[in-house]
Structure 1
Amino acid sequence: MKSSIGLLLAGGLCVASVARHDRPLFRQVDHPGPVRAAALPEGPDSSRFTYTSLVSGLDEPMEMAILPNYDVVIAERKGAVRYFDNATRELSTIAQFNVFSGIEDGLLGVAIDPDFKNNNWIYFYYGVGGEKSVSHLARFELKGRKLVQESKKVLLEIPTQRKYCCHSAGYITFSDGLLYLSIGDNTNAEEIEGHTPIDERPGRELSDDQAATANSNDYRGKILRIKPEPDGTYSIPDGNLFPKDGSRGKPEIYVMGVRNPFRISVDPKTRYLYWGDVGPDTEVPGSEGKMSYDEINQARKPGFFGYPYFLGDNEVFPDYDFATKKEGPGKDPQRPINDSPHNTGIRELPPAQPAFIWYGKGPSRKYPLVGKGGASAMAGPVYYSDLYPDAPYKLPEYYNGKLFIFEWIRKWIMAVTMDANGNYVRMEPFLPQLKVVAPIDMQIAPDGAIYLLAYGTNWFARNTDSGIIRVEYAEGNRNPVAVVSSGKTIGAAPFTATLSAKGSRDYDAGDKLIYEWKIGAKKLAGEEIRHTFTKPGIYNVVLTVSDQNGGKGTATTEFKIGNTPPDVTIGTKANRTFYWDNAPFDYRIKVTDKEDGKIERAKIHASFNYLTFGKDLAGALSGSEGENIRYAATAKLYASLDCKACHTVETKSIGPALKEISRRYRGNAVAADMLARKIIAGGSGNWGSYPMPPHADLPEKSAKEIAEYILSLGESAGDIPLATQMKLTEHIGKGNEGAYVLLASYTDKGANGIGPLKTASHIVLRNPLIQMEDYQEGNVGVVVATQNTGFVSYIANITNGKYTRFNQIDLSHIKNIRFRIQEHGAGGTIELRQDSREGTLLGQVVIPGGRLEDLKTGWKEVLLPVSGTGGVHDLYLVFKNEQIKGPMFHIDWMYFENDLTP
């Protein structure tokens, strides 16, 4: 399955990686992205582009609206409306919509009226909070920074379903006074059995896209086109797909037969509509692997674009019968018939129109530059030079008439060249040196600058590497790029901050930079400054970097003064990296907080669990609330369902709080089975008269996992002590992939106008057997396991000076590292060093040379004695034999032996 914002693009309910607090919105590289094909012409000098991060740290930004004064309004999925003041460089929250934010829904779209300068109208598209499953397209007045709530006019109410994930789309754009709104198919994409969702069984209409995107009487899986009227209503423009009287379908429909039309744009001259359509995950064979294509589409006129019957160049899906599990002949693209019993619209659909560009997960023969892997195709604007006659940052003539497309997952932007009739000619990388973190929106401002909205690394999260990037092209003097670096940005008053602009740069040789800092009403000068915040509050620090020719660049960072984050530490005398059979493990959890003073034991959340997966725990650690690490993946499943519309964790909503449910059934041995049945069957009476909807299609196993997750929420933190000693035995007999996780967290009370802050600390203990090919950095070769290698993978091509690095390993109580080696080559020395290739030598072992015939003797084990002390460090294995240039030996794995090993 794929989702609208790439949130589930890799398929299934994935766990994201931990966001680093110093990760930038973009990274400029010298040898960028997709390889330029030899036949492509050389574009403009990429060094003429400059990039500025205007805003960072947004919470799931979805779309932006650039105002005439270059202020920017940003829609965040969980309902916040954010406002970036271009003059002061300050970011504020001007409204908070009550939204339903489950199954990828929420506040999804924002756009200003074409006559905004005179009428101040701004439009939003969002899932309405509450029990009614609808989304609204609404208009408000925006006066300065105030969103006037009393001015609200609901133009459209879109019925949806909130039982199954996914595909909400929700992008708004204008062309010639007409509003275009993209809406996803909102259909169950979880149980498609390798096909498209066309489940015609009774009661399965929510799993049948023939009831949505292929249904002319439904708004979902469509792109609508309407003309907003001054009184807050709308009219139907000429030229939509169906008659204005609604006799054949919804008259607002311009395009149908789309799955998730996530980002759309209209060519300002040809009026062609473009959109990226995030494709399905199927097992159906296609012209380029499996028919799991993402598409860029071009609509020269209204029409039907194939889904769920066709994909790509009108390739045909089989007609799969979900009852008999058999495939039948697919539809005819020239005369597709929607004969589903769930269809409420016309039976004979318009001829299917093929995609403009399409590609799957593997390498594309037709469009080789798109790369491979996960995908989420999006359409940006079509650029025309003459529409920006006096714009200081207009793109060069080279890009005239080109369509920009971009990728959320693959992080590229392409410029697509078309002929005079709008036919595809070629594509080429645009700004390949700019690696944007999950680009989700792209617009061109009136001054010719390109604005890119970055969603950021983690899914469903506030990301430090989310924000707005402004891209400028200049033939003459280029603006400097301002970059602010600082240490901590949160703390108690008085708080002294050290701020540096040393990362700022200017692309014009010989320019001299001047640095000015603005903190409230105070102005400071210098490349580096120190400033003490004496009073609590939220402060925007604005850096302006100027050159002698009038060029300027700015950057903003925020300080929250008045509340110190809690300090949570976990002490242990044991090893902090590995576990061994029956090894003792002790720990001591200590929490301090400057403002809270005495710490309430009940507010310290602590858990100790053995998890059967251990190699990639980052997402589980980032997504957990401390006490529920065991249920991290289940919590993600729960969040994808409609349960959040009626339940919150802490407080009563339409239904009871999850923690209240947990407390009621605590100690009840059959509660998990009972709740699982209730989740599937639905019902009412136990907590009031409001009925809980059934989830008849939820597998019993998933319902049981959700029930156990809910029951776990009421477990008190006192279930495990803050200090104890134990023997590690739970892993025994369960393989090598598991890990023990000790996690402690504390959320303070907030202080001095700054909200509560949470700090978490953890220890992860993994198996002491490490496969050598799992190194984090190195320059050796890896031999993949095959029948010829005895199904063993190992590192090879080990010559003098090569190395491997393994991150964050504790050598406390380690006496030896046991290596499994093959004496093939000249032999040499394995050196164990700390923190760098030239770091402290902690031990070494000499491996004898071997001849080719020695390979028949197989693998041997050798010991490297370790003299290092405790503490977590990066470890380097450096391979030495200065006498020869050839290969030395092979290594399969290494095992860390503790001082209890016999």
Structure 2
Amino acid sequence: MNHVKIIGGLLAACLLNPATLITGSESGGIDRFSSGEKPGFRQDRVVVAKQNTSLHAPDSSRFSHMMLAQGFDEPMEMAILPNLNVLIVERKGAIKLYDAGAKQTRTIAHLKVFSGIEDGLLGVAIDPDFEKNNWIYLYYGVGGDQNVSNLERYELRGDQIDMASKKVLMQVPTQRTYCCHSAGYLTFGSDGLLYLSTGDNTNAEEIEGHNPTDERPGRALSDGQGTTANTRDYRGKILRIKPEADGTYSIPEGNLFPKDGSKGFPEIYVMGCRNPFRVSVDPKNQYVYWGDVGPDTNVPAEENFLSYDEINQARKPGFFGYPYFLGNNEGFPKYDFETKKEGPKQDPLHPVNNSPNNTGIKELPPAQPAMIWYGKGPSKRWPMVGKGGASAMAGPVYYSDQYPNAKYKLPDYYNGKLFIYDWIRKWIMAVTIDETGNYAGMEPFLPHLKFVAPIDMKIAPDGAIYMLTYGTNWFAKNADAGLLRIEYSEGNRNPIADIQIDRQFGAAPMTVSLSAEKSRDYDTQDKLSFEWKIGEKKQTGTTVKHTFTKTGIYDISLTVSDQQGGTGVATTQVKVGNTPPEIVVQSSANKSFYWDNTSFDYKINVADAEDKTINNASVAASFSYLKFGKDLASALSGASHGNIKYAATEKLYASLDCKACHTMDTKSIGPALKEIAKRYAGKEGADQQLAGKIIKGGSGNWGTYAMPPHMDLPEKDARDIAGYILSLGKEQPRLPLQGNIRLTEHVGQGKEGAYVLQASYTDKGANGIEPLKSSGHVVLRNPLVQMEDFEEGSANVSIGTLNTDYVSSIWAKNGKYVSFRQIDLTRIKKIRIRIQQQGAGGLLEVKLKSHQGVAIGSLTMPAGQDKDNWKELEIPVTATAGFHDLYFTFSNPDKNKVGLFFIDWIYFEN
């Protein structure tokens, strides 16, 4: 239920249900003026690339991935240095360096940037001759009142940027009144030419379901014809220049317009873009590829609405259609924003820009169609791309011969393929381009890796793939924003490093236990060694301990090596200075079960080492009865807002990608959930109305960013999600921190329900560490427990059938057991059991801790074959307090006797 569109070139979100078949039957690419087809149109045809048919897709286990760094604040682009250090720019102005040797990341500079709307520090690239000249290039919105974005050059020596070496190559005038579309990607072609992508920088919200071509007086900032379709404007373009040694640039041969500027700015290579967010240049033929993020319109199109995202290919400079055309040159009707009437569409062979906001030529070059395009619904041409919100991006074109001695070069299977990816849908595809340059097919690449908002992709000199991920939340520092390295191993496979840590937050001094035991190697014969780097200190071993004596944020890296020289890396962070709150629920009653005519006394205790004094009004506590109970533990993990009745629904909501556009409290690309709840509060039929919007999508109530449809979401689930959202606007009943509650709600409700007491507290933060939240809960379930619901054991489950009178049970066999975890035995005097005398009979024992633990109760069952009768028997148990793992074991001295008896259920009695 996510609002789609674009924030800083970032973008929209929705459900993803990718198809699973590789397709090669989509429209082929077009050789712009030499293929025999008319420019702007395509003939649908099957194109098959000539490939070595002996090549097969490689085993995914030969790709190892490692998280090199994480916790970035809106990372936008990276540049890989020859020594494999990585420059990363963050939108708010930070320039960070990942040191491959030290395996640490640090901020090396911070620019004063304008980071409103979608602007900020957006692009970084290194000069092709970096090893000699140390030049890096940055593109950013300049801080202050001047509405410009600068392309600048600096010298990077070691890990220091010489700020005095600054050279301003060019300035791009912008507007900062309306959002959106800044693009800002930098990349070099193999010919040494520098490409800069710019967004159309046009009001994307007030388009009334059409394209942004508002020609009314005073509405110039809402007219893309004045930017992307304007030959004398730098916005909505891909610019191509040749940087010169003195900090200026020259115009290379072969751009779209003459060097004298008579028809348009000579820097323009491609025009007619909306938000060309990620660009790559084929290193062999200089074809330019980019992903262009599409609008949200109500204009009917070949597939639903004319709201396509595109993957484009430019073999020559050209005009790529926007704001007049999308996809396969499907045209927008001319919309009059004054009369609200639609007029004729333009001719893609002869597009004309008659806008009063146009300062360039009127007769534009023929419009070029996209190579791949897809909308919010399922795509008939490219079913593998899925559906929902989208953010198409173009990655590199890979050639094996350009990595002749690279240790981690990709297999020849990927030779000549283009990698594309989607920021919202979280996939990467390998696209086959045939020998004539046309699209031939696509297939998933590394589908087993779950990237969180991939925002940049590059191939390093050693052949490894680097992925930069933006992370879950918009406009925020995200723990899952990271730098990943992916290595392919033809022979010996690299180990996969995995860090397990017992605590990540605490006060100084703080001792942390670290384990690499879950690290693994697909070459099972390999022997692994482990090296830890904690700050500047190194340790070895599968498990280590370290004490942090000072407050601060510390990076930890683990390098796992095999005897063949293969390595894998994992990283994590420890934050010292703030201890999570402690929440304890005390009760003299049993804290596992409820019974008729009983009550539950409780006392909630909250302590925090740094806050010292706890304001009880800040402790959120609730007590509820839920009609379901079997999956309650996992559902509880979703009840962050305190209303336990919606715990399962919140978990459902979190499993969708609604969170990409909505946060709980603050506006993101879509409104905050609490704001939605506030708007709908008290309205009759609000849940049904909101559920309809979730399923059908729409726009208009919160601006013009459209919310994509969720047509596959069951109506009941949509109603549940609507109810959950609406509950956020209601004042939750506050539970006193101490009391006694009569348990009556379960009466007449069946046996699957549960009472839940939950308490949470968020501290104030301390010593530069963010506020931490802790919670505690008590779940009281029905004392009748089906034996087949055991958590661990070796007994067989007998499924209910006609022959067993539909009773599901376990078959207690000699030497077998079943267990139930963390059962409170306080006040439990006996366990009633429903058992069937069918087999050799034997001893049933109830034990603590393990199947070989201390017995607290037993029952001897005689042999027999009374399969038509079930008996209810009692097992007295030794008085025991507190929570224990409970084991039911079955035995007979005669080991030849296997089947002993059947058990249906157990009942804990107080």
TM-score range, shorter chain: 0.5 to 0.7
Q: 1:300 aligns with which of 287, 308, 315?
A: 315
Does structure 1 residue 757 correspond to structure 2 residue 773? no
Q: 1:393 aligns with which of 408, 411, 414?
A: 408
Q: Which residue of the partner structure matches residue 22 of structure 1?
A: none
The 1:99–1:601 alpha-carbon spacing in structure 2 relative to 1, beyond 3 Å, is farther
Choose 1 or 2 for highest CA Rg: 2
Shift of 1:51: 1.6
Q: 1:121 aligns with which of 114, 128, 135?
A: 135
Is the CA contact (8 Å cut-off) linking 1:33 and 1:432 kept in structure 2? no
Does structure 1 residue 138 correspond to structure 2 residue 124? no
3-state SS of 2:440 partner: strand
Q: Distance in 2 between matches of 1:700 and 1:501?
A: 51
Is the CA contact (8 Å cut-off) linking 1:94 and 1:146 kept in structure 2? yes
Is the CA contact (8 Å cut-off) linking 2:229 and 2:353 kept in structure 1? yes
Q: Distance in 2 between matches of 1:374 and 1:385?
A: 34
The 1:721–1:45 alpha-carbon spacing in structure 2 relative to 1, beyond 3 Å, is closer
Shift of 1:247: 2.4
The 1:37–1:637 alpha-carbon spacing in structure 2 relative to 1, beyond 3 Å, is closer
Does structure 1 residue 345 correspond to structure 2 residue 360? yes
Is the CA contact (8 Å cut-off) linking 1:568 and 1:589 kept in structure 2? no
Q: 1:488 aligns with which of 503, 512, 517?
A: 503
3-state SS of 1:435 partner: coil
The 1:434–1:197 alpha-carbon spacing in structure 2 relative to 1, beyond 3 Å, is same
Does structure 1 residue 195 correspond to structure 2 residue 195? no
- Range that drifts further, 458-467 or 275-284: 458-467
- Could you give the per-residue CA deviations for residues 358-404 of structure 1, whole angstroms, max 9, x where no partner exists? 11222222222222222111111111111111111111222221111
The 1:596–1:608 alpha-carbon spacing in structure 2 relative to 1, beyond 3 Å, is closer
Does structure 1 residue 632 correspond to structure 2 residue 665? yes
Q: Which residue of the partner structure matches residue 35 of structure 1?
A: 21
The 1:551–1:617 alpha-carbon spacing in structure 2 relative to 1, beyond 3 Å, is closer
Q: Which residue of the partner structure matches residue 648 of structure 1?
A: none
Is the CA contact (8 Å cut-off) linking 1:493 and 1:534 kept in structure 2? yes
Aligned residues: 677
Alignment of 1:278-297 (within 5 A): 278-297=293-312
Q: Distance in 1 between matches of 2:462 and 2:668?
A: 45
Q: Which residue of the partner structure matches residue 62 of structure 1?
A: 76
Q: Which residue of the partner structure matches residue 49 of structure 1?
A: 63
Q: Distance in 1 between matches of 2:68 and 2:464?
A: 13
Q: Distance in 1 between matches of 2:213 and 2:68?
A: 44
Q: Distance in 2 between matches of 1:760 and 1:547?
A: 40
Shift of 1:500: 0.9
Shift of 1:56: 2.0
Q: Distance in 2 between matches of 1:504 and 1:135?
A: 46
Does structure 1 residue 547 correspond to structure 2 residue 550? no
Shift of 1:302: 0.8
Q: Which runs of 5+ in 2 are unaligned?
A: 25-47, 592-600, 622-639, 655-661, 673-698, 705-733, 740-757, 778-796, 810-817, 825-830, 833-881, 883-910
Q: Which residue of the partner structure matches residue 643 of structure 1?
A: none
Amino acid at match of 1:748: G
Q: Which residue of the partner structure matches residue 854 of structure 1?
A: none
Is the CA contact (8 Å cut-off) linking 1:378 and 1:408 kept in structure 2? yes
Alignment of 1:709-858 (within 5 A): 745-750=762-767, 755-760=768-773
Q: Distance in 2 between matches of 1:589 and 1:532?
A: 32
Shift of 1:554: 2.4
Is the CA contact (8 Å cut-off) linking 1:568 and 1:760 kept in structure 2? no
Shift of 1:185: 1.2
Does structure 1 residue 181 correspond to structure 2 residue 181? no
Is the CA contact (8 Å cut-off) linking 2:18 and 2:384 kept in structure 1? no
Alignment of 1:152-171 (within 5 A): 152-171=166-185
Does structure 1 residue 309 correspond to structure 2 residue 324? yes
Shift of 1:272: 0.6
The 1:566–1:505 alpha-carbon spacing in structure 2 relative to 1, beyond 3 Å, is closer
Shift of 1:301: 0.9
Does structure 1 residue 533 correspond to structure 2 residue 536? no
Amino acid at match of 1:214: A
3-state SS of 1:290 partner: coil
3-state SS of 2:665 partner: helix
Is the CA contact (8 Å cut-off) linking 2:799 and 2:808 kept in structure 1? no
3-state SS of 2:545 partner: strand
Shift of 1:605: 12
- Could you give the per-residue CA deviations for residues 548-599 of structure 1, whole angstroms, max 9, x where no partner exists? 12222222333333x12352869899xx9xxxxxxxxx99998755346567
3-state SS of 2:420 partner: strand
3-state SS of 2:78 partner: strand
Q: Distance in 2 between matches of 1:368 and 1:701?
A: 31
Shift of 1:37: 5.5
Q: 2:494 aligns with which of 446, 460, 479?
A: 479
Amino acid at match of 1:451: Y
Q: Distance in 2 between matches of 1:226 and 1:403?
A: 24
- Could you give the per-residue CA deviations for residues 826-845 of structure 1, whole angstroms, max 9, x where no partner exists? 997999xxxx997799999x
Alignment of 1:138-537 (within 5 A): 138-175=152-189, 176-520=191-535, 522-537=537-552
Shift of 1:529: 1.8
Is the CA contact (8 Å cut-off) linking 1:4 and 1:169 kept in structure 2? no
Amino acid at match of 1:632: D
- Range that drifts further, 88-97 or 64-73: 88-97
The 1:396–1:614 alpha-carbon spacing in structure 2 relative to 1, beyond 3 Å, is closer
The 1:520–1:262 alpha-carbon spacing in structure 2 relative to 1, beyond 3 Å, is closer
Is the CA contact (8 Å cut-off) linking 1:90 and 1:556 kept in structure 2? no
Q: Which runs of 5+ in 1 are unaligned?
A: 15-30, 577-585, 622-628, 640-697, 704-719, 726-740, 765-798, 803-825, 845-870, 872-902
CA RMSD, Structure 1 to Structure 2 (Å): 4.8
Q: Distance in 2 between matches of 1:742 and 1:485?
A: 27
- Could you give the per-residue CA deviations for residues 194-249 of structure 1, whole angstroms, max 9, x where no partner exists? 21111122212222111111111221111111111222222222211122232222
Is the CA contact (8 Å cut-off) linking 1:9 and 1:374 kept in structure 2? yes
Is the CA contact (8 Å cut-off) linking 1:169 and 1:262 kept in structure 2? yes
